[in-house]
Chain A
Amino acid sequence: MRSSFVIAFVVGFAGVLAAAYFVPWGAHARILSKTSVAMNGGREETFQIFLPADRIVEVADGERFPLALDSALRVPAELATAAFVAEHFKLRDIDGTVIGLATRHWTATPTGMQSVWAVNIPSRGTLVLAAEGDVPGQLAAALVRTGETSEQARAEEIEVALARDTSEPRVVVGTEEFQGVTGHYSETWHISGLNERGELQGTIVLSTVVNQT
């Protein structure tokens, strides 16, 4: 009887510790990566963000960023001395399945406006992208040119290429499966109109090409 108790005790003790050790607690649901081989080498992958459905929260300096949403949270006065917008979205693959989160900080710097994207895919890691250029200004100008700032929804879609070769769009750093990668990306907004709350409707397309170094 005593030996049975001891064996059961050891089984219970070892079983719990084995579960603690062997169960993959940190595993995330993994959606099949939709990647392809780029023509001149590297791995190509395109991500999408549907507006306004995928927007999570925006923090903005409304005075200097005319496209700031009415619902945007405002930066405090001590930080409102330079243009700044932080946008947060759910990130989709090319098929439209949510696979992660995307964060973009647009910040005024001594050399002009610059944007930094953090593309976070929980099952794969994070890819940080950056580009120079007055991205909010380009977007606002494109909308003004087409009359998009009026409250009337447009019948046709407009396309605004924001991160292009001239703005030096680059991969800054990656983690986990993206660790050690280099590369570049492009960012294009396909805008189909404004909804009744004044929010942009359309799709942001991030196309990345990365090389493992």
Chain B
Amino acid sequence: MRLLIVWLGGFVLGALAAAVTLYFDPLAAQSDVASEAVGEGTQNLHYAVGGSDAFALTHAAPPGLKTHPASVPTLFEAALAKTALGVFLLTDDVGVGVAVATRISKLSNQTNPLTKGIVLADDWIVSVPGSGTYVVEQQSNVWPLLRDTVVDVGLLKRAWSDHREFPVTIGPGIGGQALVTGASGIYRDVGGTAVERMSLDGFMALGQLPDALAGTLTVTLQAPSAAEATEPTLSAAEDSP
């Protein structure tokens, strides 16, 4: 009996030590904010997950996670169980609406809590009425966001009130940036990169998710010739000394 208690105690303490390791996640992919390209052709596109700027948000609707508007169907089918769909108004730095975006996010098969974090595969379809459409392919590590909200506030009841930003983009482009591909209109043959950061102004209760969440997608577009000239290729990387 005493041996069993010792075994159980050792196992539980070992598991807790592993959980603490995963909490701080030292091996996980970190978003490299320094790689964010800012210059000509760069635009900050701001969005809110909730509020009047958010058209819709739906997912498999696990308990406690809201969808909106009320009439939107949930993604209850087995094939969509780890997928979310958001439709947002994108505004510029002064708050004027400049585009409408659809964001489809799914839990990525790259997810590995030990080495990469909780990785989402995001597809953004961004349309500027009158101009055209481009798409953004992104991988994002949302573990730091989940840790500060679901774990710290939801489980550990440690609310916080400061402004926190969460740079989430970790790929799939070289340098950890998202990839932009032009699809129609004036964007048809453009390429580019993007990075995204999410933010919260304090977090008091789990019920604030997802409405309290806001984000900025910083997109850098390159004209076709520039994109071709600067696009890093695997063969070019292999050829370099």
Judge whether B107 and A9 touch: CB under 8 Å.
no
Q: Complex: how many Å from CA A29 to CA B111?
A: 16
Give 8 CB contacts A-B under 8 Å: A13-B18, A29-B78, A82-B129, A82-B131, A90-B75, A103-B125, A128-B181, A172-B183
With A12-B18, A109-B184: A31-B104 Cβ-Cβ less than 8 Å: no
Does B79 belong to the interface (CB within 8 Å)?
yes
Judge whether B129 and A84 touch: CB under 8 Å.
yes
| Set B3, B21, B112, B130: member contacting A81, Cβ < 8 A | B130
Within 132-174 of B, Cβ neighbours of A (below 8 Å) are at 132-133, 135, 137
Q: Which residues of B contact A128 (CB under 8 A)?
A: 125, 135, 181, 183
Closest to A12 in B: B14
Q: Complex: how many Å from CA A105 to CA B12?
A: 52
Judge whether A116 and B135 touch: CB under 8 Å.
yes
Judge whether B130 and A120 touch: CB under 8 Å.
no
Within 8-62 of A, Cβ neighbours of B (below 8 Å) are at 8-17, 20-21, 24-31, 56-57, 59, 61
Does B10 belong to the interface (CB within 8 Å)?
yes
Binds B, one of A71-79, A139-147, A198-206: A71-79
| Set A12, A114, A172, A176: member contacting B12, Cβ < 8 A | A12
Within 84-117 of B, Cβ neighbours of A (below 8 Å) are at 85, 87, 89, 96-100, 102, 104, 106-115
| Set B81, B89, B99, B185: member contacting A114, Cβ < 8 A | B185
Q: Complex: how many Å from CA A56 to CA B68?
A: 11
| Set B80, B96, B123, B185: member contacting A118, Cβ < 8 A | B123
For chain B, what secondary structure do more than half of its interface residues adopt (helix, strand, loop), or is it mixed? mixed
A residues apposed to B, CB below 8 Å:
1, 4-17, 20-21, 24-31, 56-57, 59, 61, 71, 73, 75-76, 78-84, 86, 88, 90, 97-101, 103, 105, 107-111, 114-116, 118, 120-123, 126, 128, 130, 132, 172-173, 175-176
Judge whether A75 and B107 touch: CB under 8 Å.
no
Judge whether B14 and A31 touch: CB under 8 Å.
no
Closest to A173 in B: B181
With A98-B80, A107-B129, A118-B104: A172-B110 Cβ-Cβ less than 8 Å: no
With A4-B6, A11-B11, A118-B123: A76-B81 Cβ-Cβ less than 8 Å: no
Judge whether A28 and B106 touch: CB under 8 Å.
yes
